[in-house]
Every structure is written in structure tokens, then in C-alpha cells.
Amino acid sequence: MSAYKERLRRSFGYCGETCPAVDEAFVIAEGRISKLVPDCLLSDLSAELAKVREAVKNVGTEKMRDALGDACADLIAAEQKAEEAEGRIAELERELEELRREIREAA
């Protein structure tokens, strides 16, 4: 799996999709507002709300998803470093045990 796909997968593990929730909130808002607006303005209302919805996604949900993805990438990198360090520790412990064995045999 590519690094991008892995970070995206992890980000959704921490926080599910937010764009559908934003879309639903705007649908509800448009339904409520449309009852208060004359019919001749409904198409303008829909167009403006669509612009606002996309702006919210651009500065909110998409930006937050990118930041969460970056945090997941950092976490993946830290996990890899920890795994490498654990491997090196195990290697050094084996070397130490071998040296101890050699000292015991030499004594």
C-alpha cells in the first residue's frame, strides 16, 4: 500500500468522512431557509449555499483531513523508527550475550 493510501486509511480510522455530514447540514439548512425566501430567489439561494458549502469543505474538512493525514504519516514514520530501534536492540543484546559467553569460556 502506498504511503499516501496508508495515511489516508489511518486518518479515516481516527475520524470518519466529514464531507457527507457537511453536505447533509447544508441540505437541512437550505430546506429551512427556502421556506423563508420567495420562490424567485430559490435558485440564487441554492447557488450561494453551494459556494459556501464548498468553502467550508476547503477551509475546514479537507484542511483538517490533510492535517490528520500528516499526523498519521508522522505516526507511521515513528512506528517504523521504533521497529528499527527494537531490531537494533535485539541485535545488540545478541552480541552482548555472545561476548558474555566468550568471557565465561575464556575465564
pLDDT tens across 25-68, in order? 999 999 999 999 999 998 999 999 999 999 999 888 888 999 99
Q: Is position 67 within any domain?
A: yes
Examine residue 87 and state whether it is found in any structural domain, yes or no.
no
Residue-wise pLDDT for 63-90, tens only, equals 899 999 999 999 999 999 999 999 999 9
Indicate the number of domains in the chain. 1
The answer to whether residue 33 is domain-embedded is yes
Q: Give domain status of residue 62, yes or no.
A: yes
- Domain membership of residue 93 (yes or no) is no
Q: Provide the residue range defining the domain that includes 73.
A: 3-77
Question: Is 54 inside any structural domain?
Answer: yes
For 11, other C-beta atoms within 10 Å of its C-beta total: 20
- C-alpha cell at position 5: 493510501
> How many other C-beta atoms are found inside a 10 Å radius of the C-beta of residue 76?
14
In-domain check, residue 90: no
End-to-end CA distance of the chain: 53
Portion of the chain with pLDDT greater than 90, in percent: 64
In a domain, 32, yes or no: yes
Residue 99 pLDDT exceeds 80: yes
* Cα separations in angstroms, 5 against 19, 39, 68: 18, 45, 13
